[in-house]
Amino acid sequence: MNIRKCVAAIGLSLLPWMAWASGAGVHLESANIDVGNVQSLQRGAQLFNNYCLSCHSAQYMRYSRMAEDLKLPVDLVTENLMFAGEKIGETMTVAMPAKEAAAWFGKAPPDLTLTARQRGADWVYTYLKSFYLDPGKPTGVNNLVFKDVGMPHVLWELQGWQRLKSADGHEGDAGSHATSHEGAADSPFEQVTEGALTPEEYDRAVRDLVAYMSYVAEPVQLKRAGVGIWVLLFLAVFGVLAYLLKKDYWKDVH
Ligand code: HEC
């Protein structure tokens, strides 16, 4: 009996590892974001508010705080980045009722305020690059890091469509003009139709988007970096003073 319990306990303790292992099969690309780059965050905000807020909320983020942190004039934000008739001091809610969304997509689109921290920037970056054509799915797409995802490929106009390379490593028909981009020899995808952006431009757009999501997940990180610089400056100045003082105190001691 005891042994059984023991085995059950070991089995249970291994469960989280098994869950982790099942998701770890896909190689995540490095997002390489720079949250200190305000222009990147501004571009990310534009993409996020245009392409994501229609389904997802970011309900812990206020438009006014974003405007301030990203150095965007309030009227520019109200005119170009707010679509649901909110006011500048309000949080980023979503007009679509969760219940209906769940009926349409099988799953309600989750709030994205904290996603970049929960999933990690690399995961979100890879996710947004990993939608591929799958005629068996209601949305026509599947995702390599999120199997059977309910979300459509909302950035298709920018990225174009891609499909999985066939399992034997054969890159499509000889006659097709399927292209691969830089560093893509080991990419699991091949491009089927081109989007408005080149693959490099799309990578940059997704990087901006993920940088913005990472900022939204922890807005104070911008301030933290700013404070850090002052702390280092203070330490440098204080270090010089302390050294001069020490020299002065010790000049008569031999
Ligand atoms: C048409 C509606 C729609 C739009 C627009 C949309 N999504 Fe989604 N998204 C969904 C749905 C539905 C899910 C839930 C999928 C599931 O659980 O199967 C989802 C899930 C996600 C997830 C996974 C969250 C998690 O941790 O499970 C991320 C990340 C995400 N979306 C990011 C984005 C980003 C970034 C954009 C804008 C570029 C965006 N979405 C635009 C519908 C949408």
Which atom of ligand 1 lies nearest, measured to the CA of 52? 37
**pTM given for the model:** 0.80
pLDDT band, very low/low/confident/very high, at 183 (cuts 50, 70, 90): low
Q: Is residue 17 part of a domain?
A: no
Q: Is residue 253 part of a domain?
A: no
End-to-end CA distance of the chain: give it in Å, rounded.
Answer: 78
Nearest CA to ligand 1 atom 39: 52
Q: Does ligand 1 lie within 6 Å of residue 119's CB atom?
A: yes
Q: Does ligand 1 lie within 6 Å of residue 58's CB atom?
A: no
Tell me the average pLDDT across 1-23. 56
Q: What is the pLDDT of residue 8?
A: 63
Give the chain's count of helices (H) and strands (E). Answer: 10, 6
**What b-and-e string marks burial along 70-82, b requiring 16 or more CB atoms within 10 Å of the CB?**
bebeeeebeeebb
Q: Is residue 246 part of a domain?
A: no
**Which residue stretches of 129-198 are H helix?**
156-159
Mean pLDDT across the chain: 86
Our count of domains for the chain comes to: 1
Q: Does ligand 1 lie within 6 Å of residue 124's CB atom?
A: yes
pLDDT digits (tens, 9 = 90+) for 55-84: 999 999 999 999 999 999 999 999 888 877
Pairwise pLDDT comparison (224 vs 56), residue with the higher score: 56
Domain span at residue 131?
Answer: 33-221
Nearest CA to ligand 1 atom 7: 151
Q: Is residue 129 part of a domain?
A: yes
pLDDT of 204 > 90? The answer is yes
**Residue 79's Cα: distance from chain center in Å?**
25
pLDDT band, very low/low/confident/very high, at 186 (cuts 50, 70, 90): confident
Taking the centre of ligand 1 as the mean of its atom positions, its distance from the CA of residue 108, in whole angstroms, is 9
For residue 59, the domain's CATH number is: 1.10.760
pLDDT band, very low/low/confident/very high, at 161 (cuts 50, 70, 90): very high
